[in-house]
């Protein structure tokens, strides 16, 4: 456990940010799953709508430090490829 006041404060801050980040990461994954589910169902309009909704959320996660920018680019690229394969 933390010995100094500074270390105790950092431990509290780290725990708060961990909880916040976990929620945002879960939200991000949910939006990605919605796109994949729509693609598997064959619903092109719903998949495109979900894709448009998820793109700003993915970009936002990068800016907040939730995921790495390369992971975001890879996810967006793969999801876009799945949409194009439906056509």
> Percentage of the chain surpassing pLDDT 90?
94
Secondary-structure percent of the chain, ordered helix, strand, coil, rounded to 5: 85, 0, 15
Nearest to 46 by CA among 86, 12, 11: 86
Per-residue pLDDT reduced to its tens digit, 8-28 = 999 999 999 999 999 999 999
Looking at 1.20.58.110, 3.40.50.1970, 1.10.10.60, 3.40.50.2000, the CATH number of the domain 5-86 comes to 1.20.58.110
Reported pTM? 0.84
Q: What are the residue boundaries of the structural domains of the chain, listed by start? A: 5-86
Say what the pLDDT of residue 87 is: 77
């Amino acid at each position: 456990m933390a010995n100094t006041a500074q270390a105790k404060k950092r431990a509290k801050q780290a725990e708060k940010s961990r909880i916040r980040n976990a929620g945002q990461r879960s939200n991000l994954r949910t939006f990605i799953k919605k796109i994949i589910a729509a693609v598997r169902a064959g619903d092109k309009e719903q998949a495109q709508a979900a894709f448009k909704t998820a793109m700003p959320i993915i970009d936002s996660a990068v800016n907040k430090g939730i995921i790495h920018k390369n992971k975001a680019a890879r996810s967006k690229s793969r999801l876009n490829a799945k949409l194009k394969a439906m056509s």
